[in-house]
Amino acid sequence: MSLTYEDVIAKYEPVLGLEVHVELNTNSKMFCGCSTIFGAEPNTQTCPVCLALPGALPVVNEKAIESTIKIGLALNCSIAPFSRFARKNYFYPDMPKNFQISQYDEPICVNGYVDVEIETDEGPKKFRVEVERVHMEEDTGKSLHVGGATGRIHGAEYSLLDYNRAGIPLVEIVTKIVPGTGKYAPEVAKAYVAELRDILRSLGVSDVKMEQGSLRCDANVSLRLIGVEKLGTRSETKNVNSLRSVERAVRGEMIRHAELLNKGERVVQETRHFQEESGLTRSGRSKEQAEDYRYFPEPDLVPVEPDAKWIEELRAQLPERPSVHRKRLQEEWSVPDKEMAAMINADLLDTVEATVILGSDPTKARSWWLGEISRIANEQNVSVKELAITPTDVAEIVALVAKGELTDKLARQVVEGVIAGEGKPAAVISARGIKVVNDDSALMAAIEKACAEQPETAEKVRNGHLPAAGALIGAIMKETKGQADAARVRELLLSFLGQA
Amino acid sequence: MIRSSASEMASALAQGEITSVALTQLHLDRIASVDKDVHAFLHIDTEGALEQASAVDAKRAKGEKLSPLAGVPLALKDVLAQKGVPTTCGSKILEGWRPPYDSTVVAKLKKNDIVILGKTNMDEFAMGSSTENSAYGPTHNPWDLSRIPGGSGGGSAASLAAFEAPLAIGTDTGGSIRQPAAVTGTVGVKPTYGGVSRYGLVAFSSSLDQAGPCARTVLDTALLHEAIAGHDAKDATSINAPVPQVVAAAKSGDVKGMKIGVVKELNGDGYQPGVRARFEESLELLAKAGAEIVEVSCPNFEYALAAYYLIAPSECSSNLARFDAMRYGLRVGDVNGASAEEVMNLTREVGFGREVKRRIILGTYALSSGYYDAYYGSAQKVRTLITQDFTAAFTKADVLVSPTCPTTAFKIGEKSNDPLAMYLNDIATIPVNMAGIGGMSLPSGLADEDGLPVGFQIMSPVMKDERMYSVGAALEAALLSKWGAPILSKVPALGGRV
């Protein structure tokens, strides 16, 4: 019998720890000049350095250091005046040197924090997530296991290796343990990753695409009985590829741990892999026996000693913090708290903002994205961002409505067409033959016809009973196949019946 | 002609007395005639060398301005990557690998039109002091073919002493340039760490490795030094500063008023009588040339060998991890159903020799959690102390001196089963690598008891490499006037006729 979430939180307190890996969007790799563009032919973006040919040496990408310092500053960290790279030694075929250049006990940024706000039963509440460290490292290559049912290494006939990703700059952001979130642990985890992603995006240092792996989250979860000091055994869930999955993974692990603990079993310290379909995790690598990576300072590189003046210059260039940015938008757009929260929760704030920047009225932009478009996404069981409609399309449609060239109803058809892949709004309009009937004489004909067909209703309106106009307008709209601008119809009708 | 110095050959080339093709061919013939006895070379690049030589001749014919050593042949230690030419590091695990790129040293040699004859033998991955650890068989010392030519760069040093090449490149992690120079009666320099790019030098111990010039005279060594030195953006540890003026120093050889510090700890017990006699004699000659001899003490040198044998194996255990059969080199056991891990294991089992395995195991152990502080951590502290010893000593003297090694060349096989005795051979050369300073070995004569060459070591502060060249040139000149002929004129005739 599986436990409910309420059962879990009634008895246990969750403790979170989040590790986020971010691929920087530098043009070249961390230690060589190879390109970092995603999706190139396998092994075309390699050189002696990232293939670890004998004799090749790494040289640090200055831009990556700059990006990492910016991240540290944006996360309220101190920037270490002296930090070093270290070698993390372990054998794996997708790691060409059989060691990873990373930072170990001397990371570049330490002791920061991120404040997140979530909706609670008592209204919005702020949680502080403390950041232990931000450090630089290089990514590994990719293994593709061929043959075998699971795509995993066990049972595979052979494996293919692609070293294009080997050496891509990675930044790892590690939180301290996050206690005190109680039942909101899943929401806090999600809000933290979302805030982090927004900060990174505002800094312009990464593509932050979770689905492409440029932002990856490992969620550490443990439970302890409420009131107990000692931390429970944690599991580390990998492969969490969306914000929604962060929340689901934490919640799922909390339930799984609680079930084990309630049965008197113990939680195994291990990595778990999140399964997008089921929302469950499966067992990965055991971490019961700490692996010995034989870290030691990387002798091929010199220490990183950023100039204090340079750090201050970078600090001065930091963009507006996303939380501040959001507050500003909320004021500028005069959006109520609830709607603002809805936009943020739906992960659509940036989309709406992009649409507003393109000239749309904020309320209109918001209602399209959160209304019609979200509804279609929901129907198709995909996320809004996966739909083939862009802020540019929506801005164009909003503009056409404002100019009276589309009615709201027609605009919905256009949106539908764009999402259905029929092309840009203009293409959909022309292909579907959508046009507003704004020829007043055509409308007048329809008005006269409607009044002739419903003389009693027309009479009521003529006598000042305006609500009766609705029935006439409905008939007129039907006559014009919905292509008329309802507002204009009303205007003309009332004037025709002497009420304007 | 092949017995001339590189500078004499360069001037004959400049005068049009010989072409580079003819000079290269003379050396190739010499190699063909004697190398079956010496075994200095692992690979002879006849075609590439002659091609390069003929290109230099063409440039000269057109009247192009050429570098000082243009057209002179050179032997390259097989630890430096040369595009398209086999590079094995003396190991089976790299058999058949042809690098797709040039190391910076090779690129600079090519830019200077120095003709590369081939790749020389070495202890596997530069681990050893005798060249016996080569997977391709030992090199023999031209002074006595039953003896070792030193190591790891025994092939480069032997090629000079056997007149197979007038110039050679070595690499020095704990003495691999200087000790072979000492036991073959040749000159070898380990420049300041960071003075010569390590890009393309297959790493043994990254924080200690340094490529350097080898030749038969101090001036030739200086000319080659300037050709290969300088800042390289591809090596983060390369020093961004002007190259020390070593050629000028070698030409002047002026030691008047210089203070030469004798390191108390690098002499005495364990040093062969003939080695000590030649050392004392050299000091007298330097004093006569106007230098002031002082004694300095470096108390922490006592721990240098122990610390070295923690740091170097630690770094090597990580550096050599890349030899895993996945991308290049040997691959063993890749049969149906074998996992990558099995192939890696088998390849490394078969591909690495005993000494390499010994050091990988030693280093893996020293870096292990729980042992790191006691071993690698302590060794790094010793390293700092050694550097401080040098710093203090250099306040009392401009250069420091010692015998290069405690003994003359030992017999092949004599110490193969006693690694500790073998390691002790580097006791005087290792401190230089630990501190990253410059060191030179040049011949100071033959030991009375065995008639074999003895080396004199000169050490200079970071990026003051010119100082060791001044002292080396002064001593070389004094010794030459004493002997009447270069020491290598006493090398016994080898198989072929000169």
Q: Which residues contact B195 (CB under 8 A, 6 or more apart)?
A: B210, B229, B239, B243, B244, B438, B463, B465
Domain CATH for B193: 3.90.1300.10
B424 pLDDT band, cuts 50/70/90, is confident
CB A43 within 8 A of CB B219: no
Q: What is the pLDDT of residues B209-246, one digit of tens each?
A: 999 999 999 999 999 999 999 999 999 999 999 999 99
A299 contacts B207? CB cut-off 8 A: yes
Tell me the HSE value of B307 on the side-chain side, using a 13 A CA sphere: 23
pLDDT digits (tens, 9 = 90+) for B57-103: 999 999 999 999 999 999 999 999 999 999 999 999 999 999 999 99
- The reply to whether residue B236 touches residue A294, judged by beta carbons under 8 angstroms, is no
Q: Indicate yes or no: CB of B318 within 8 angstroms of CB of A290.
A: no
Chain A residues with CB inside 8 Å of B233's CB?
Answer: 59
At residue A219, φ and ψ (nearest 5 deg) are -105, 120
Is it the case that residue B32 has pLDDT exceeding 80? yes
Q: CB contact, 8 Å: B369 with chain A?
A: yes
Using the beta-carbon criterion (under 8 Å), do A53 and B101 form an inter-chain contact? yes
Chain A nearest C-alpha distance from B346 (Å): 14
What's the pLDDT score for residue A149? Answer: 67
CA B204 remoteness from chain centre: 14
Of B434 and A123, the one with more pLDDT: B434
What backbone torsions phi and psi does residue A102 show, to the nearest 5 degrees?
A: -145, -175
CA distance A273 to chain B (A): 23
Task: Determine the pLDDT at residue A19.
Answer: 97
Percent of chain A scoring above 90 in pLDDT: 65
Check whether A42 has a pLDDT greater than 90: yes
Minimal C-alpha gap between A34 and chain B (Å): 13
Tell me: the pLDDT tens digits for A278-299?
Answer: 888 888 877 767 789 999 999 9
The answer, for A84 touching chain B at a CB cutoff of 8 Å, is: no
CB contact under 8 A, A56 and B199: yes
Chain A residue numbers touching B99 (CB-CB < 8 A):
48, 53-55
For B340-392, how does the pLDDT look when each residue is reduced to its tens digit (9 = 90+)? 899 999 999 999 999 999 999 999 999 998 999 999 999 999 999 999 999 99
Cross-chain residue pair B367–A53, CB shorter than 8 Å: no
Indicate yes or no: CB of A54 within 8 angstroms of CB of B341.
no
Enumerate residues 302 to 331 of chain A having a beta carbon within 8 A of any beta carbon in chain B.
302
By the CB < 8 Å criterion, does B328 face chain A?
A: yes
pLDDT above 90: percentage of residues in chain B: 94
Contact across the interface for A48 and B233, Cβ inside 8 Å: no
Measure CB to CB from residue B237 to each of A51, A290, A300 and give the nearest one: A300
With CB atoms and an 8 Å threshold, state whether B328 touches A97: no
Domain total in chain B: 1
Q: Nearest-CA residue of chain A relative to B208?
A: A299
CA distances from B109 to B98, B126, B473 (A): 18, 21, 24
Say how far apart CA A249 and CA A257 lie, in whole Å. Answer: 12
A98/B364 touch (CB, cutoff 8 Å), yes or no: no
State yes or no: pLDDT of A124 exceeds 90: no
DSSP-derived letter for residue A18 is: E
A225 vs B: CB within 8 A = no
CB contact under 8 A, B322 and A96: yes
Q: Does B244 touch chain A (CB under 8 A)?
A: no
**Does the pLDDT at position B497 exceed 60?**
no
Annotate chain B with three-state secondary structure: CCCCCHHHHHHHHHCCCCCHHHHHHHHHHHHHHHHHHHCCEEEECHHHHHHHHHHHHHHHHCCCCCCCCCCCEEEEECCECECCECCCCCCHHHCCCCCCCCCHHHHHHHHCCCEEEEEECCCHHHCCCCCCCCCCCCCCECCECCECCCCCCHHHHHHHHCCCCCEEEEECCCCCCHHHHHHHCCEEEECCCCCCCCCCECCCCCCCCCEEEEECCHHHHHHHHHHHCCCCCCCCCCCCCCCCCHHHHHHHCCCCCCEEEEECCCCCCCCCHHHHHHHHHHHHHHHHCCCEEEEECCHHHHHHHHHHHHHHHHHHHHHHHHCCCCCCCCCCCCCCCCCHHHHHHHHHHHHCCHHHHHHHHHHHHHHCCCCCHHHHHHHHHHHHHHHHHHHHHHHHCCEEEEECCCCCCCECCCCCCCHHHHHHCCCCCHHHHHHCCEEEEEEEEECCCCCCEEEEEEEECCCCHHHHHHHHHHHHHHHHHHHCCCHHHHCCCCCCCC
Q: Does A156 touch chain B (CB under 8 A)?
A: no
Query: Max CA-CA distance within chain B?
Result: 73
Which of the four pLDDT bands, split at 50, 70 and 90, describes residue B274?
very high
Question: Chain B: nearest CA to A386, how far in angstroms?
Answer: 38
- Going by their DSSP bridges, the two strands A169-175 and A215-225 should be labelled as unpaired
Q: Looking at per-residue confidence, does B43 or A211 come out higher?
A: B43
What does the pLDDT look like over A367-384, one tens digit per residue? 999 999 999 999 998 889
**Domain annotation covers residue B390:** yes
Residue B158 CA to residue A7 CA, distance in Å, equals 80
What residues of A are in contact with residue B202 (Cβ under 8 Å)?
54-55
Mean per-residue pLDDT of chain B: 96
Q: Which of A54, A89, A300 shows the shortest C-beta gap to B202?
A: A54
Distant-in-sequence, close-in-space partners of B173: CB < 8 Å, separation ≥ 6? B126, B152, B204, B205, B208, B209, B210, B312, B433
Asked whether residue B18 is domain-assigned, the answer is: yes
A103 closest CA partner among A236, A287, A295, A290: A295
**B103 in reach of chain A (CB within 8 A):** yes
Classify A207 as helix, strand or coil.
Answer: coil
Smallest Cβ–Cβ distance between B236 and the set A48, A51, A58 belongs to A58
Cα–Cα distance, B349 to A157 (Å, whole number) = 24
B200 Cα to chain A: minimum distance (Å) = 4
Say if the Cβ atoms of A302 and B237 lie within 8 Å. yes
A96:B236 CB<8 A? no
Kindly provide the ipTM of the predicted complex, given to two decimals.
Answer: 0.95
Residue B322 touches chain A, beta carbons under 8 Å: yes
For residue A337, pLDDT beyond 90: no
Query: Which of B208, B209, B318 to substitute to test the interface with A, most A CBs within 10 Å?
Result: B318
- Strand order of the β-sheet with A99-102 is A99-102, A86-89, A296-297
- B341 contacts A59? CB cut-off 8 A: no
Distance (Å, whole) CA A99 – CA B24: 42
Interface-testing mutation among B327, B334, B361, B365, with chain A (most A C-beta atoms within 10 A): B327
Task: Please give the Cα distance from B248 to B133 (Å, whole number).
Answer: 38
Residue A301 near chain B (CB below 8 Å): yes
Is the pLDDT at B496 greater than 60, yes or no?
A: no
Choose from B98, B193, B320, B324 for mutation: most chain A CBs within 10 A.
B324
Q: Is A299 helix (H, G, I), strand (E, B) or coil?
A: coil
CA closest to A143 among chain B residues: B340
Residue A11 distance to chain B (closest CA, Å): 38
* CA dihedral sign of residues A154, A214, A382, A220: positive
Q: Identify whether the C-beta of residue B176 lies closer than 8 Å to the C-beta of residue B152.
A: yes
The residue among A28, A89, A91, A305 with the most chain B CBs within 10 A of its CB, best to mutate, is A91
Give the number of other Cβ atoms within 10 Å of residue B490's Cβ: 13
Q: Which candidate in A65, A85, A98 is best for mutational testing of the B interface (most B CBs within 10 A)?
A: A98
Residue A446: band (very low, low, confident or very high) from pLDDT cuts 50, 70, 90? confident
What pLDDT digit, counting tens, does each position of A466-489 carry? Answer: 888 888 888 888 888 777 888 888
CA torsion, ordered B187, B471, B391, B295, to nearest 10 deg:
110
Say if B209 is an interface residue toward chain A (CB within 8 Å).
Answer: no
pLDDT of A256 strictly over 90 = yes
Per-residue pLDDT reduced to its tens digit, B123-148: 999 999 999 999 999 999 999 999 99
The answer to whether residue B450 sits within a structural domain is yes
pTM of the model: 0.87
Q: Which CATH number fits domain A440-496: 3.90.380.10, 1.10.10.410, 2.160.10.10, 3.50.50.60?
A: 1.10.10.410
The answer for residues whose C-beta is within 8 angstroms of residue A197's C-beta and 6 or more apart is A208, A210, A215, A243
Query: Is the Cβ of A48 closer than 8 Å to some Cβ of chain B?
Result: yes
Domain ranges (residues) in chain A: 5-314, 320-432, 440-496
- pLDDT number for residue B35: 97
Which A residues in the span 99-128 are in contact with B, Cβ-Cβ below 8 Å? 99
A314-321: long-range pairs with CB below 8 Å, 24+:
A314/A66, A314/A69, A314/A70, A314/A73, A315/A73, A317/A70, A318/A70, A318/A73, A318/A74, A318/A203, A319/A202, A319/A203, A320/A202, A321/A74, A321/A199, A321/A202
The answer to whether B97 contacts A89, with C-beta atoms less than 8 Å apart, is no
Q: What is the mean pLDDT of residues A246-258?
A: 95
User: Domain range for residue B61?
Assistant: 6-302+383-490
Average pLDDT, stretch A255-268?
Answer: 94
pLDDT at B498 over 50: no
In a 3-state reduction of DSSP, which class is residue A33?
coil
Longest dimension (CA), chain A: 96
State the catalytic residues of B.
Answer: 77, 152, 176
For residue B322, give both structure tokens.
């890349």
